[in-house]
Amino acid sequence: MTSPDEQPTLAVSTVIFTLQPNDSATPELRIPLVKRIRNPFANQWALPGGPLAASEDLADSASRTLRETTGLEPRYLEQLYAFGDPARSPGERVVSIVYWALVAGDEAAQVFDSENVAWFRADDLPQLAFDHNLIVDYALWRLRTKLEYSRIAHGFLGDTFTLAALREVYEVILQRPIDAGNFRRTMEASGVIVPTGERLTGTRHRPPQLYRYNAEPESQGEFDLGPRSRPMLTVKETA
Amino acid sequence: MTSPDEQPTLAVSTVIFTLQPNDSATPELRIPLVKRIRNPFANQWALPGGPLAASEDLADSASRTLRETTGLEPRYLEQLYAFGDPARSPGERVVSIVYWALVAGDEAAQVFDSENVAWFRADDLPQLAFDHNLIVDYALWRLRTKLEYSRIAHGFLGDTFTLAALREVYEVILQRPIDAGNFRRTMEASGVIVPTGERLTGTRHRPPQLYRYNAEPESQGEFDLGPRSRPMLTVKETA
C-alpha cells in the first residue's frame, strides 16, 4: 500500500503526429516536442503534457495539451498506454498516461516553431527526456499497425483528397513505395472512400478526382477505440 | 494544473478471466470479484485491485492483485486501459489503470469462493461498484477480438490440450458454435499449434491427440503487446 504522501504523480502526455512537407516538398512524419526548462532533464526535448487537472477527463487533458502546444484540435485522439516504470523519472514517481493524436498536415503547416516547441522527424529524434523515445517508438508502431487495418489515414488529410495524396500518407508512414494501380483498386473496392464527383482545381489538363471517407465509421471493423460507451475517436465527419 | 493536495489517487485493477465448468460440466467464462467492505459502494462487488505501491511497476501490481485474490499466477497479462472519468468515484478522484489477465481453467477450478471473493459469469454480472461493468464489457470485447487474431486461447489451457478443448474455448468466448472440421483444418494449417505425438490418457477406444502451441510467439503477427521493449505477455512457453 502507498501512504498518501507517497502517491505517485499522474501526468498526461501526447504524441502528436502530422505530415509536413520538407524542403523538397516530400511529406515527412513529424511530432512536436517541448524543451524542458527545469530538472530533471532540463534543456532536453520531451513530449508535451503535464499533470492531470483535478476535474479534467484524461482525453480532455490530452486535447488541452495538444491545443496549448500546437494551437490545433486533434483529428484523431486515442489512448496509447500508461507508462509506470518506477525508474522512469529520477527522484519522483510519475505515472504517465499517454495519448496519441493526428493533426491534418495543412493545419499543422501553419504552426511555426517557437523557442520552446519544435517539430521533429518521428523516425529521427534526439535523446529525449524520461522514457519518451520508447513512448514515441511505441506510438509509431501503433500508428503503422492501425494504418493497415483502419481508416486512420483520414486524420492526416483534409475532408477531401486525391488518391495520390492518400497513397502518399501510406508510403510515408509505412516507409515503402506502394503501387498506384493496386492501391486504387484496393481502396475503391473497400468502399471506405467515395468519389465526391469533384476534381482538384489547378492548372493541369486532367485534374485528379477528389475523394472523401464515407460516413460510416462502423465499417472500419474490429478497430479498438477504447471503451465503447465513450469512443475516443474524434475524426471530423464530412457533411 | 493540480495542486499537490488535489493529486488524483492512482489505482490498479485487474479483470481476471478463466473458464470454469458449470454444474453440467460446460465451461463458462468467469471472473473473480471482491465484495467491498467500505464506502463508496460498500457491500457491492468490484474488480480486485488497489492503490499502486510506491516502488511497484504497474504490471507487477496487477499480478500481485491477481495472486492475492486467486492464489494464481497469470498465464497472460496485458494492460487494458486507463479509466479516469472525474465522476467515476464519488467524493474522490481515482484514476484506475486496468489490466486483464487469463488464468488456466484447471488451476482456477482449485480456487474456491471465500466470503469476500466470488466467481461470476462474465456475461451475467450484477451491478458492480464504480464503472466496473463498463470495464468488464470492454475487457470482454478485447478478449473476443484478440481470440480471433492471436494465440490468446493458450492462456486458458494447460501446456497440452486436445483440439476439442481448444475449440471449446473459442465457442464459449465467441458465444457461437464452430464447425469441428473447419476448425481442425484452420488450426493445423496455421502452424500455430503442433501435435505433441501423445494422446489423451483415459478409457476411450481411440483417445484424441494432444497439441501444444509452438514456441515462436513472433508468429502471432501484428499483436499489440504493449511497448516492445517490455512485453506484457507472460504466457508460459512449453519446454
Of A85, A93, A229, the CB nearest to B134: A229
Contact B87, B144 (CB under 8 A): no
Residue B35, C-alpha cell as written in the block: 465484495
Interface contact A84-B52, CB threshold 8 A: yes
For B228, name the nearest residue in chain A, comparing CA atoms only: A138
Contact A88, A123 (CB under 8 A): no
Q: Tens of pLDDT along B152-184?
A: 888 888 889 999 999 999 999 999 999 999 999
How far is it, in rounded angstroms, from Cα B198 to Cα B160?
A: 9
How far is it, in rounded angstroms, from Cα A96 to Cα B235?
A: 26
Which residues 176-235 of chain B have a CB within 8 Å of chain A? 222, 224, 226-230
Predicted pLDDT at A109:
61
Predicted pLDDT at A189:
87
* Structural domains of chain B, ranges and CATH numbers in brackets: 9-233 (3.90.79.10)
Contact B64, B49 (CB under 8 A): no
3-state secondary structure B90-138: CCCCEEEEEEEEECCHHHHCCCCCCCCEEEEECCCCCCCCCCHHHHHHH
CA distance readout (Å), B226 to A132, B81, B144, B167, B223: 15, 11, 18, 27, 9
Query: How far off is chain B from A163, nearest CA to CA, in Å?
Result: 26
Interface contact A95-B1, CB threshold 8 A: no
How far is it, in rounded angstroms, from Cα A131 to Cα A88?
A: 6
Residues 6+ apart with CB under 8 A from B121: B28, B29, B30
Q: Is omega for the bond preceding A74 within 30 degrees of 0, making it cis?
A: no
Interface contact A138-B10, CB threshold 8 A: no
Predicted pLDDT at A16:
95
Q: What is the pTM of this model?
A: 0.86
Interface contact B227-A2, CB threshold 8 A: no
Radius of gyration from C-alpha coordinates of chain B: 19
Predicted pLDDT at A33:
95
Give me the mean pLDDT over the B71-84 stretch: 92
Interface contact B93-A141, CB threshold 8 A: no
Q: Is omega for the bond preceding A51 within 30 degrees of 0, making it cis?
A: no
B237 or A99: whose pLDDT is higher? A99
Q: Within 10 Å of residue B189's Cβ, how many Cβ atoms?
A: 8
Give me the mean pLDDT over the B113-130 stretch: 89
Is the pLDDT score of A174 beyond 60? Answer: yes
Residue A36, C-alpha cell as written in the block: 524542458
pLDDT tier at A157, thresholds 50, 70, 90: confident
Closest CA to B2 of A51, A66, A12: A51
Give burial (CB, 10 Å; 0-12/13-18/19+) of A127: exposed
Of A53, A137, A228, the CB nearest to B2: A53
Is the pLDDT score of A224 beyond 60? Answer: no
What is the complex's ipTM, to 2 decimals?
0.85
Partners of residue B227 in chain A, C-beta under 8 Å:
81, 83, 134-135, 137-138
How far is it, in rounded angstroms, from Cα A12 to Cα A64?
A: 10
Partners of residue A50 in chain B, C-beta under 8 Å:
1
Q: Which amino acid is at A217?
A: P
For β-strands B94-102 and B9-21, DSSP reports them as: parallel
A80 touching chain B per CB within 8 A: no
Give me the mean pLDDT over the B134-143 stretch: 94
For β-strands A9-21 and A94-102, DSSP reports them as: parallel
How far is it, in rounded angstroms, from Cα B199 to Cα B197?
A: 7
CA distance readout (Å), B50 to B46, B53, B235: 11, 9, 24
DSSP state of A91: T
Mean pLDDT of chain B: 84
Element (H, E) at B12: strand B9-21
Q: Tens of pLDDT along A4-25?
A: 457 899 999 999 999 988 777 7
